[in-house]
């Protein structure tokens, strides 16, 4: 491909991307960034495009990081009158999302798709996941049982967002903590057998807990599964 043709292809791709963004995305600006320890950032986005938006707890947005690269986040809340929303970002692994957040500053523009439907849970919900599930737990304001690499690093989020119904289980390589997860889930379902169970976070943990619930026939409520990430893979929704 010669330089002239190559330049034309790039130009057409750029124009197509710009058209898609104009038609289907919302533009906002970063209003505030709160550092919650070294592992989390609470980001407030605002703008006229966020006013009058139909949002339901559990919905998602997909932030554009440049080109066709995007990362998905769960808004904790949405003020359609003021035109504001907040997302919690976990810096749990290197990647485009983590790089974006680390260089982000107040006043920076932010373009995203959504909000769009993702998790539609009922009034009685148990969220099972990890650090990446904290935004969903805060949005649903329900019980949550999370496997975490560090309870100390996660505690600032629980304190800041008043997530008093979130239980933490220390992650152990090889699934050594699964027995504790199963025991805690069983205890919660004894209290409310009809609670809806939302399995999120690490794909391998979702698979294990799904098998456990099926084998034990525990919980009569609906179940939702949404893998946010998996070892060796990137860009999961």
All structural domains of the chain: 3-116 (2.40.30.10), 125-229 (3.40.50.80)
Compute the distance between CA of residue 87 and CA of residue 104 in angstroms, rounded to an integer.
13
DSSP 13-57: HHHHHHHHHHHHEEEEEEEEEEEETTTEEEEEEE-GGGTT----T
Find out whether 112 and 28 touch, Cβ atoms under 8 Å.
yes
Per the structure block, which two tokens stand in for 25? Answer: 């995305």
Q: What is the pLDDT of residues 122-149, one digit of tens each?
A: 778 999 999 999 999 999 987 999 999 9
What is the distance between the alpha carbons of residues 34 and 106, in angstroms, rounded to a whole number?
A: 10
| pLDDT for the residue 94 | 82
Residue located via tokens 């407030």: 44
pLDDT for position 21: 54
Chain centroid, CA 204 distance in Å? 17
Contact 50, 28 (CB under 8 A): yes
- pLDDT of 109 higher than 90: yes
pLDDT in tens, 142-157: 799 999 999 999 999 9
Cβ pair 154, 133 in contact under 8 A:
no
What average pLDDT does this structure show over 54-65? 96
Angle at the Cα of 157 from the Cα atoms of 153 and 61, rounded to 5 degrees: 115
pTM above 0.85, yes or no: yes
SS3 66: strand
Report the alpha-carbon distance of residue 159 to residue 27 in Å, rounded. Answer: 30
């Amino acid at each position: 491909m010669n330089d002239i043709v190559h330049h034309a292809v790039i130009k057409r791709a750029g124009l197509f991307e710009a058209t898609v963004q104009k038609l289907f995305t919302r533009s906002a600006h970063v209003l505030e960034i709160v550092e919650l320890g070294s592992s989390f950032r609470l980001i407030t986005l605002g703008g006229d495009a966020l006013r009058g938006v139909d949002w339901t707890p559990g919905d998602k947005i997909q932030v554009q990081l440049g080109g066709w690269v995007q990362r998905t986040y769960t808004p904790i809340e949405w003020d359609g009158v003021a035109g504001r929303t907040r997302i919690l970002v976990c810096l749990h692994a290197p990647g485009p999302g983590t790089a974006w957040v680390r260089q982000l500053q107040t006043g920076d523009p932010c373009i995203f798709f959504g909000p769009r439907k993702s998790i539609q849970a009922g009034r009685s919900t148990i969220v099972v996941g990890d650090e990446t599930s904290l935004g969903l737990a805060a949005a649903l304001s329900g019980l949550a049982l999370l496997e975490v690499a560090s309870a100390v690093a996660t505690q600032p989020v629980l304190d800041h967002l008043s997530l008093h119904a979130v239980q933490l289980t220390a992650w152990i390589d090889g699934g050594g903590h699964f027995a504790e997860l199963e025991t805690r889930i069983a205890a919660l379902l004894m209290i409310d057998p009809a609670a809806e169970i939302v399995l999120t976070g690490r794909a391998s943990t979702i698979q294990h807990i799904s098998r456990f619930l099926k084998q034990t026939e525990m919980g009569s409520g609906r179940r939702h599964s949404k893998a946010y990430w998996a070892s060796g893979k990137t860009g999961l929704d």
